A and B are shown apart, each in its own frame.
Chain A
């Protein structure tokens, strides 16, 4: 399988400040790759080097088999990009913006812009400054996809979107993948990446810490369940169960159980008592995942 994106020791320093350091990344053609990390970890820096907005201090990157620096124009012809901090021409309508970018791309019409707008329920004849945050994000998404790019680079695509539209965006991403095209998606929330990506790379403080299949992450993700019982329950009954990482009694009636992977054994055990409520805390799955890798002896800075 060929690669949609390859980076080799990709490093970017802003003066003395580290953006990214020695990032070796490979995104395969046809996959949805989730690029996960907290804000400021280096996600946007990596993307901006790939698109030749900024130049690496060291290392090299290639996109669709082309050199990110030398062949930047050809790359942009074949790539769609949604910036993380989306700013657009406020005085244009969305349709005018699509027309401008279609013009710069040498397209004879608006491509898929019309159909995508309809699908995302976006009225393209309104001035961009009048759109809500969610609608602006839709405009950004449409301009990224209107020319049917082979590679779609989305920097935090669902930030500011309500859940319904988030779901629609995820469906669009699914379709792009089923078309055989590639999606590189950066996000700081694991559930989103978990939902749409095949593989995920986690970046922390400028270093790519780990790359793995999403299924693998799911297997190792640690969830916290808070079980509430009608009668006092001895927390130790959960202690010996498979996949349970830790157990804490919050009070006589409440037990917090950390589970790696399937919660099935815990739920079955809880069913033996009068369970009044179960809440799952997906809080920081990513941190839990990272700690797993740290335990495995992987380098987590």
Chain B
């Protein structure tokens, strides 16, 4: 028996989640394994990037040299890049596929013919998305902790925890955004397109706001800042994580509102 939409959302991914975990662990270990080599070439890299503080800033650092510290290396090569992007693909996939996708596949009538409230459907999907994303992050973190010393990174457990929770929360924001767009519009294409577009825009805005003065105002309001700007590996959990959680709650509320008020398409 699959007792709820929450369970069903997880059940649907019971096999694919393994591949997501393995893929991300592989990517993470490959990046970590390259660190000793980078460390050997550190001076060369630093001289190449000399004076490029703007480049360091887009990963939340002040000096170029910080990019080659373990924390800087992990953020600039993994957490502000591939790991975040892949996790976003995962969450946006669930977000867009769950309400809009179910309507597109025309199974929504059958689901809503059961005694389940629309708001419950939304909450269950957000819950399942959170559990699945945190599960992937946990798997990645276990692999990181196991190899931390081997690859000379020497980062703290708290640092890994804060970074993995942070990247999961940021990815969840875009997943729930996709869910909300799908819940309001019923269109899977809009859900993917708008969530991806907003993510790209916020990344560009974050990059520019570190160097372009008239965009500076946007920095405190940008979810990318809440994660990358909080320097999780060195500073641990930041109060900005609260803003990420609040954003997820607000987007969930919008999704509920949007889904409850409209006609379900055939």
A interface vs B, CB < 8 Å? 44, 48, 51-55, 73-74, 76-77, 79-81, 83, 85-89, 91, 96, 99-106, 140, 143
Contacts and interface: CB of A to CB of B under 8 A. Distances in A.
B229 to A, nearest CB: 41
9 contacts: A48-B266, A51-B109, A73-B116, A76-B114, A81-B109, A87-B106, A88-B110, A104-B114, A105-B115
Given A83-B109, A85-B266, A99 B115 contact: no
B100 to A, nearest CB: 15
A76 B109 CA distance: 12
A101 B12 contact: no
B115 A73 contact: yes
A96 B2 CA distance: 8
Contacts of A88: 107, 110
Contact of A103 (B3, B108, B109, B266): B3
B114 A105 contact: yes
A103 B115 CA distance: 10
A143 B1 contact: no
A89 B114 contact: no
A89 B107 contact: yes
Contact of B112 (A51, A77, A102): A51
A61 to B, nearest CB: 15
A87 B110 contact: yes
A245 to B, nearest CB: 39
Contacts of A143: 110
A226 to B, nearest CB: 40
Contact of A73 (B3, B5, B117, B266): B117
B266 A44 contact: yes
A154 to B, nearest CB: 12
B4 interface: yes
Nearest to B107: A87
Contacts of A44: 266
B84 interface: no
Interface string B251-266: 0000000000001101
Contacts of A105: 114-115
Contacts of B1: 99-100, 102-103
A54 B264 contact: yes
Given A73-B117, A76-B114, A88-B110, A55 B4 contact: no
A49 B180 CA distance: 24
Contacts of B117: 73
Contacts of B116: 73, 76, 104
Contacts of B107: 87-89
Nearest to B106: A87
Contacts of A77: 115
A96 B111 CA distance: 14
Contact of A91 (B5, B12, B108, B114): B12
Contact of A54 (B2, B4, B12, B263): B263
Contacts of A86: 110
A286 B160 CA distance: 72
Nearest to B105: A87
Contacts of B263: 53-55
A81 B113 CA distance: 7
Nearest to A100: B2
A88 B113 CA distance: 13
Contacts of A106: 115
B8 interface: yes
A73 B263 CA distance: 16
A101 to B, nearest CB: 5
Contacts of A73: 115-117
Contact of B113 (A51, A85, A89, A91): A51
A281 B135 CA distance: 65
Closest 3 CB pairs between A and B? A103-B3, A87-B106, A54-B263
B112 A53 contact: yes
Given A74-B115, A76-B114, A104 B12 contact: no
A80 B110 CA distance: 10
Contacts of A104: 3-5, 111, 114-116
Nearest to A110: B1
A83 B110 contact: yes
Contacts of B266: 44, 48, 85
